[in-house]
Amino acid sequence: MKEIYREIKEHLKKDFNLYAYLYVLLFTFISLFIYYIFKSGRGFIYKNFGSTRGIIDLIIFYLFTYFAVIIPILIIKKKTFVLKSKEFWVKTLSLILVFGFFSGFYKLDSFAIKIGDNQYEQYYLAYIFAYLKMIFPVTLVMIALKIKYDKKDKHFYGLRKQGLNYKPYFLFLLILLPLVISASFMPDFLSYYPRFKFWIFPEMFGLKSFMQTVFFKLSYAVSFVSTEFFFRGAFVIGLARILDKDSVLAMASFYCFSHFGKPVGEAISAFFGGYILGVIALNHKNINGGIIVHIGLAFLMEAVAMAQYLIRN
């Protein structure tokens, strides 16, 4: 934990600019306040979800939220020369377009309905597809970017074994366990977790409840790999050659906006957690720490929520 603290301190020492950080914090958290307190913006983001217009809305939302942060940062730090970089625009636009498109891609729901014999199977498959749908297009785009711009890097945007001490991340999960247990007594937590409430579903596809849960959790884990690969791999490591340390703060805000619609505490923690994981990813050119924390925390919340159900029933 001391190592992580030292890295964050060193990053802030080199990167901190009062006006840039103040702008990003105000923009991000005023947006959060408007969204969750006044419930403004929900109509634009999700009103047309499940349609072509909904995909366009999400793409516009993500384009706006990223560039509304990174461009002012570059202006404040007098680095507007970055905006003349073709690589910057190709990477950011291609990544945001694929992320926005597949975040709102609804055809898989129709496919799930055709495959499933009943509403339970349809619902189950819809969630499985939703968790898996991002990994393939994001990976394809990043392969193309790697070939075009980052051939010399000996890693694939942070996917590698070397360069990281893994012990602090498991210790961090252990420290978080009491907080997760405390949160599990809140109604909002139990209404959202576990993501797969196995007690609701009958036998599906000839699978018993245990195997249904296993397949669901595996797809759930893959979704976190794709999340780390996209935000810390692409938007921090992939853009660091152009943006240097500025890639971290912009990503943290963008990551927070991607959580709009989830519980407000999760959206707020996404900013700070994303920032910390971004610093680590940038320093080590390794995203595995984020993958461990992300999957570990998610599974802790799942396990605690399931335990709450079993105890109460």
DSSP string, 1-66: -HHHHHHHHHHHHHH--HHHHHHHHHHHHHHHHHHHHS-TTHHHHHTTTTSHHHHHHHHHHHHHHH
Residue 74: both structure tokens together: 């570059």
Distance CA 80, CA 74 (A): 5
- pTM tops 0.85, yes or no: yes
Pick from 111-120, 121-130, 154-163: least confident:
111-120
Q: How many CB atoms lie within 10 A of CB 167?
A: 10
Q: Answer whether residue 109 shows pLDDT above 80.
A: no
Q: Each residue of 225-281: pLDDT tens digit?
A: 999 999 999 999 999 999 999 999 999 999 999 988 777 888 898 999 999 999 999
Residue 184: band (very low, low, confident or very high) from pLDDT cuts 50, 70, 90 = confident
Scored b (16 or more CB within 10 A) or e, 274-284 reads bbbbbbbbbbb
> What is the model's pLDDT at position 219?
94
Q: How many CB atoms lie within 10 A of CB 62?
A: 22
Q: Answer whether residue 41 shows pLDDT above 60.
A: no
More confident residue, 67 or 152: 67
- Helices first, then strands: H and E counts in the chain: 15, 0
Residue 40: band (very low, low, confident or very high) from pLDDT cuts 50, 70, 90 = low
More confident residue, 143 or 35: 143
Distance set, CA 216 to CA 125, 196, 304, 306 (Å): 9, 7, 17, 14
Determine contact, residues 134/102, Cβ cutoff 8 Å: yes
Residue 39: band (very low, low, confident or very high) from pLDDT cuts 50, 70, 90 = low
Angle in degrees, CA 221, 211, 198, rounded to 5: 80
How many residues belong to the chain? 313
Pick from 9-18, 85-94, 128-137: least confident:
128-137
> What is the model's pLDDT at position 227?
93
Mean per-residue pLDDT over the chain, rounded: 89
The percent of residues above 70 in pLDDT, for the chain, comes to: 95
Residue 23: both structure tokens together: 């702008």
Residue given tokens 């749908």 in the structure block: 133
Distance CA 84, CA 282 (A): 23
Residue 5: band (very low, low, confident or very high) from pLDDT cuts 50, 70, 90 = confident
> What is the model's pLDDT at position 200?
87
